[in-house]
Amino acid sequence: MAKNVLVTGATGFIAQQLILDLLARDYAVRGTVRSLGKADKLRKTLSEHHGSPVQIELVEADLESDAGWPEAVSDIDCVMHVASPFPMAPPKDPQDLIRPAKEGALRALRAASDAGVRRTVMTSSCAAIAYGYAQLPEVLTEDNWSNPDYTKDCPPYPASKTIAERAAWDFVREQAPAMELATINPVAVFGPIRSADVRTSVGIIAQLLGGKMPMLPNAGLQFVDVRDVSLAHIAAMEKPEAAGQRFALAGEFYTLLETAAVLREAFPQYASKLPTRQLPSFLVKLLSHVNGDMKTISYELDKRRFVSGDKAQSLLLEKPYISGRDAVIASAQTLINYNAI
């Protein structure tokens, strides 16, 4: 069984939870960061949640540079490639997102292969499953792939995740057949944050609680808790049968108004800031031509993208998913605790 584990993108939301869970299981963990200037802050954050000073080696390695990767993978049994660009706003050029996602995945896999690492678990996304359809299927599974060429239903972020994951599978098949690859494909990830500067999906909760969304479009998303995502990564590393498979991590679907209702019930002190009205779809479409956030939301308008998470629940988690409600509340409570709203 793997004992020395590399986690790329160690400062990220999923990566921090994963590192804590690996340490709790007595794995030796090394992490990559884009700058070692973040090392002390990260160690402090992890130590606070671990309950004692953490022993974790950090190596400077960037998705867009070869520097640091040979050192990062040296004497490693398993690579958890979690690092990937996550846009806070739509990029002007989709390649600004696609290029680092694809090249970063290949850089990590190539370094792992050169070092003789047997298994790599890569964090992909259900965005690589659920986009690019002229006719959206009622239920999607790991057998489905997003189609980046159908841009009417596939914005840059899903395109980047799809292209990067396909490149990873192609690399293993064509250039590193001895390597075992598994991919974890979560939907929108919520749950407890471990530091105030963690955002990604949780930013939606911060915006709702902060009263920055007075009306909400007719859109929604599936939820999965970061704690389940972390456990799935570890199971994909430990279970021999996980090799060569994709695993969608996907729980309940909530509309944005339903999400706001969960928050209103759990945090009545924020009720006045939480929206109760729906933004007309025609207005969202109109604003999407001039507003980047509205353009992103427009892809979800009046749709219900639903990916089955049954396979991962059965083979990896072996338990029920943490509920969407509990994931939302955990995000909100930790955002409040960190004064991050």
Buried b (16+ CB within 10 A) or exposed e, 89-119: eebeebeebbbbbbebbbbbbbbbbebebeb
Residue 225: other Cβ atoms inside 10 A: 25
| Structure tokens belonging to residue 229 | 């995502």
| Structure tokens belonging to residue 42 | 């990260």
| Structure tokens belonging to residue 265 | 């019930």
| Catalytic-labelled residue, pool 3, 38, 44, 161 | 161
Taking a C-beta distance cutoff of 8 angstroms, is the pair 191, 126 a contact? no
Taking a C-beta distance cutoff of 8 angstroms, is the pair 48, 24 a contact? no
Torsion of CA 138, 140, 144, 149, to 10 degrees: 60
Q: Is 161 a catalytic residue?
A: yes
How many residues does the structure list for the chain?
A: 341
Cα 260 to Cα 199: distance, rounded to the nearest angstrom: 18
Cα 336 to Cα 113: distance, rounded to the nearest angstrom: 43
Residue 191: other Cβ atoms inside 10 A: 26
Q: How far is CA 245 from the centre of its chain?
A: 18
Cα 233 to Cα 171: distance, rounded to the nearest angstrom: 20
Q: Mutual orientation of helices 226-238 and 13-24 as an angle, nearest 10°? A: 60
Cα 113 to Cα 170: distance, rounded to the nearest angstrom: 14
What are phi and psi for residue 200, nearest 5 degrees? 55, -130
Residues forming a β-bridge with 56: 29
| Residues labelled catalytic | 161
